[in-house]
Chain A
């Protein structure tokens, strides 16, 4: 943890800063020691309330994290005394003991890295026995440290709905005995894959929203990237994390150019490159350079994204990367993208052949007839192109894309 300069900050700013810097770490610390989510969250919340009351008047303590944990520990003890013998409370969370558990130990841990505690908590949040929705919400709560109201906004649900979802998920962890534990080496690859899938799902929902009035929700994508960096810090040397991070950073760097002034999606080739975040692209490319040979689907996708960030993509290389990605994933969507790349590489007839069978595999996807229509147009087969545009127009769902298709067909 880097020490931040707290002098010169008002008490209120210092509390907000402490929340951003320390909430997730301190919560992981408290959860693994109290073995209860509710006690840990309430105690830490009370500690921040106390900080908000006293810091502006009495000044910001030299070590805010230690101050907060001391305050939280007092609440934990109060609560334990009050609830002794309460029959209704949830069973204690399953976790391996964390050292001796004495006061000095916790104070040592506050200034330490807390990586182990954080990882234990995050692996529990991404356990396959939880629903995908629960996993995503828990990761935003305990990984990104967002408040319930913020998570509800990102998921476009009312706050009580999100609060209930989080409560249910935490109860499941306790009652089902989902352990707060780093998986054994044999299980790590599968469990890490689930964790990365959770992060990527959050990112894609932000990158191309499936719900809500906006086509992209950059805050959600940004939170996913923050989680990616966190996992990279907690599990150094895992190439798959670096690959996913590179992929997300490169895609996110184009966010300002992906929509036009009316909020419509702009195709990659038509995007205003001056609106790309070139510092972020450089960071994504640097992340890619640190990786070994492509070993994951994320890595191949990141390499493709990197090609698209250059002045002119090498379409032959893009087509090759998509072919490899298709071999690994067997995905029809990947095949569709591969067809586009093959066409751009100068082989529209070969691209057309790649579309065979895709209508059956993706019957509701308007992009299959859209791509076919574009290829047929390019090959000068106007009547067939016209029919393909018809098929695409029957399937398309957003107004923006319908307008685009109608314009293309009219131009035939």
Chain B
């Protein structure tokens, strides 16, 4: 099965990471991705720009389309990035998610239909 590991976190915490701390964190992600690659289970993944400084939301209502500044939902925990992995089942996906250097990871299966 394919799973998306969706990473959520506090935007303030993420932006406050600087210098050595930021470098260590991205190195941990690189090591995580490299390990998955080696096991042949990494299908993709991206880090997103933080929503506060980058998001634009489009809303369609009938024929009207509005474009606004900001994310879809104003919440403290924001979506920061994702990995796409191959795993036999949810337990295997949870085991992979545990290796991530992140506090909140939502595990969603890719709908294979």
> B113 and A177: CB pair below 8 A?
no
Contact flags A120-158 to B (C-beta < 8 A → 1, else 0): 000000010100000000000000000000000000000
B99 beta carbon closer than 8 Å to chain A? no
> B113 and A179: CB pair below 8 A?
no
> A177 and B112: CB pair below 8 A?
no
Q: Which chain B residues lie closer than 8 Å to A181 at the CB level? A: 89, 91
Q: Which chain B residues lie closer than 8 Å to A179 at the CB level? A: 88-91
> A129 and B90: CB pair below 8 A?
yes
Q: Which chain B residues lie closer than 8 Å to A175 at the CB level? A: 109, 111
**Within residues 73 to 105 of chain B, which ones have a CB less than 8 A from any CB in chain A?**
87-91, 93-94
Which one, B1, B107, B111, contacts A94 given CB within 8 A? B1
* Residue ID in chain A nearest B95 by CB atoms: A187
**Within residues 35 to 59 of chain B, which ones have a CB less than 8 A from any CB in chain A?**
none
Interface size class of B (residues with CB under 8 A): 10 to 19
Q: Which chain B residues lie closer than 8 Å to A187 at the CB level? A: 91
Rounded to whole Å, the gap between the CB of B9 and the closest CB of chain A is: 21
The CA-CA distance from A181 to B113 in the complex, in Å, is: 24
Contacts A177-B1, A177-B93 known; A94 to B88 CB distance under 8 Å? yes
A178 beta carbon closer than 8 Å to chain B? yes
A-B contact count (CB 8 A): 35
* Residue ID in chain B nearest A95 by CB atoms: B89
Contact flags A84-102 to B (C-beta < 8 A → 1, else 0): 0001000100100000000
Total residues of chain A contacting the partner, CB 8 A? 13
Rounded to whole Å, the gap between the CB of A159 and the closest CB of chain B is: 29
Q: Which chain B residues lie closer than 8 Å to A183 at the CB level? A: 91
Contact flags A177-191 to B (C-beta < 8 A → 1, else 0): 111010100010000
Q: Which chain A residues lie closer than 8 Å to B88 at the CB level? A: 94, 177, 179
**Within residues 168 to 182 of chain A, which ones have a CB less than 8 A from any CB in chain B?**
175-179, 181
Q: Which chain B residues lie closer than 8 Å to A129 at the CB level? A: 90, 94
Interface core residue of A127, A175, A177 (most chain B CB under 10 Å): A177
> A178 and B113: CB pair below 8 A?
no
* Residue ID in chain A nearest B94 by CB atoms: A129
> A176 and B113: CB pair below 8 A?
no
> B91 and A176: CB pair below 8 A?
no
The CA-CA distance from A175 to B88 in the complex, in Å, is: 13
* Residue ID in chain A nearest B112 by CB atoms: A91
> A94 and B89: CB pair below 8 A?
yes
> A178 and B112: CB pair below 8 A?
no
Q: Which chain B residues lie closer than 8 Å to A127 at the CB level? A: 90
The CA-CA distance from A178 to B1 in the complex, in Å, is: 11
The CA-CA distance from A181 to B91 in the complex, in Å, is: 10
6 residue pairs bridging A and B, Cβ less than 8 Å apart: A91-B113, A94-B1, A94-B89, A127-B90, A176-B90, A179-B91
Q: Which 8 A-B pairs have the closest CB atoms?
A: A179-B89, A94-B89, A177-B89, A177-B90, A177-B1, A178-B90, A176-B90, A177-B109
Binding site for A on B (CB under 8 A): 1, 3, 87-91, 93-94, 107, 109, 111-113
For the A-B complex with A94-B88, A175-B109, A179-B91 known, give 12 more contacts whose Cβ atoms are closer than 8 Å: A87-B113, A91-B112, A91-B113, A94-B90, A127-B90, A129-B94, A175-B111, A176-B107, A177-B90, A177-B93, A179-B88, A183-B91
